[in-house]
Structure 1
């Protein structure tokens, strides 16, 4: 690996250690949260007379508080529940507490009582805390089946699962429509770029000879190379479908901060391989077998070209391993088989494009192999590191993400600046001047991000805004507080009469994620300015009493923090709802979209 990337190698190791260590931070990001009855599924068994057995099945990425599981009789007497010891957790909501993961069971003695009220409370690791849940059970003369809500009946204090998350159709619609307009060309360009990695480009003339054979006409060469490319693209499409199907279960796992940390470390390792720390490739025996299959296939026929395309999709050289693995990990997260197959198909077509050109018009139009090819590896390496930062941003504070982005920019600056062993390179060309100018700008911007992060900023476009000044206490936004559906209706009616849009923030005293949003989003001057014409309402659900549960049920809210944006007619655009923690940029995009739709 040339000297171009050596100044960055120590920083790559720093990246890996820093990002994995920061994964223990507060969970954040927009996650598909489960409704409470799915996150904490309660099963009741009363087959032993006066003893009621209670069993909770806890979904991955969620936990129940041990001291929040309680039982009370209809006369108001507390029932002692023999709960097992829980796991100690330094919880942001209640301090150091004992919690349960996966499952927990206990028994309640109901002797002499006609009814038994069970209450419990839990949270998601990704930042959403559910209000206290409760269920009242008849304990005399009823069978277990009568104690559980019938299938399809809505729970008394949670929303319809089909409309339970901020991204229930927001994410799916974006992936299915608008974002594909950008994603498909991106994968096509990515495929073309992969064809120019150091150990793929030099092989193109050799592969073209194997595919086309000798004395083929230009038209015949196009047909054969097209068969090769189509077979390769279809093979990648099958790989993409498999990755997406495997990723359906990955979605739940990615709500866990340790899983995200592991994936982040994987992306960093893949990036390090692109910068020459080590080489990723298939085992030698597998490579030899695939190579023998390719060499034994007859060139010059459509079938032979197709077989070679299939083999090359499975054996594309060590330079492909890291970016292809990163691409498959991205597709696995979507869990969308159709999209995964289509994107990998487009990537395969992109990889085949240079080969079709070589076979049809000859290799004279392709750039010659040289040192520039290692820079292609560098571009992929930086892309993989940027992906790692994006992924780890789900589980670290926004200011930490800003610091990582700043470190990334500074590393780009060190890499671009043409220094070797501290000496300036002689005879700097015009391209060299442009390169150093870009390096200087990247370094200055990266340093600004690092300084802004230290001051608690989170906006990459305005990293020093928090240093320039902070809003005073006199600038507090006027939030009206409601605790019932009637109170919210009155606020909405007043806003409609004034022709003002309304923002409703569901919050609770025990919700630390709500405090984080207040501090890192609503305290930002850009947000305050954007909300100046809005009617602001806080829906307080701290107690979880019947009025507050009815309010959440009417608005189809799982728990705090949840933000609803309603237009001047009092109508919510459901796709713009925010659930869990979010950043300033995300909030402003949703706010602007809501105003545009009004």
Structure 2
């Protein structure tokens, strides 16, 4: 996880590669390595009342002791005895206990009849494989590898394959599948991410680019395409670099200075929409672009590329299973080329509907004229709202409410001005003016409430109105997060899991950050769901707040192979995570309840 490559060098090389200017070879030629099935073969055989899990490890390869687990699906094994390994200083996980050559694990299954095996290994030459898993049914017979199963007996004996988490599956796909399949897979996954809180804010940004440059019929395709390709390329470069250097892609762009800078940028763009000034690139750049664009407005494609770059930064705080899978693959294999191309395809998938929206939306617009001043004002308001949305991550709640109040007053003033100049029938004019006044009045109430320390947009005067009964008397919480205990370090986690294990309880660990957009959605829609709260009644609830992304946070994420929030882990009473049920990114309450039920952790 910890590479010494220069981030600047990696990003520059990948950028040139994606642009097709120079050939860049993968950091590691995977054809020089064995497949994981060939490198790590095992045999599970009866040994009296126990079973012996015998590992045959290829020369110059090794297995991690800490990544090797044996758990039961129907009941936990009575005991599992691991041999003593060799201590090495590993490039990926630091000082680690590993097995070379042969390793034998003695298992007393007790009442268990189905075992889940998991393991992870690396090659001495630098390639680290994704985690592997298998399910084995114990029937008293020798469980030996089949010819076609690469040492995994589960294909013939297991009642069903062990579940594999989405990020693991995608990391394995990048390692084992063809480039064409990987690109198609990640492009399709990008399409599925279009309607997430991360991609939707790009719609008004792209619309502002097109409307602000007065693209007419037939002229919107190229700026839309440039916007999306730049966004995808930036997304891929940042992701590949983050995977190589072991950095958290999300936290890297959540420092107040960066967020504040982006907010200022959107305010400046909004002011140009309002006609305060005309925002253009320098003349020497604009002249070059005019030669490229032909009839396009000067700076049009350049502005689209610039906004595509910033939109990629906008999307970077959203952790999803495809992103986590690609980063996991890059970090473990060092193969920035295939991982980066996967992320590039993911970005194109996310942006393809934006190209259609930008192109078809512009084609339905009438010819540029005075009406566009009103449209530009609307997009100016949207850009201001985007700036406030950014600032929500770093500003106190009452300040954020004040900003929304100011925006509401601005909207009211713009609407009243539009009504005054519009050609409307008198009743319609009166109705529009009344609605504009209501918006302005509500904005004023939000400013008053913010001055009193309030933060509720829909009840801004709450600080000045007494409550008839204490909130705690209802026995309910607003977001379902009151039962979560915050932990910080790996030792905190170990102690909490051990405490729950002594009581025979499961543990749920959620990785959260203030700047994580999807985390807020999960807390409201999943952990705030009464059915989910009932299902988690007997589960120990832990939250790892990694907002600061300091060394302790990074150590905990490295320890558990967590790329970033939101990530939800389910840990059994035996202290072992059920890795196949890990959640990365957004999930619905129904899907989460299904996972809980499948693990046996649910109280329902």
TM-score bracket, normalised by the shorter chain, equals: 0.3 to 0.5
TM-score by length of 1: 0.45
TM-score w.r.t. the length of structure 2 is 0.44
Specify which structure has the bigger relative contact order, considering alpha-carbon pairs within 8 angstroms and separated by 6 or more residues.
1
Larger Rg: 1
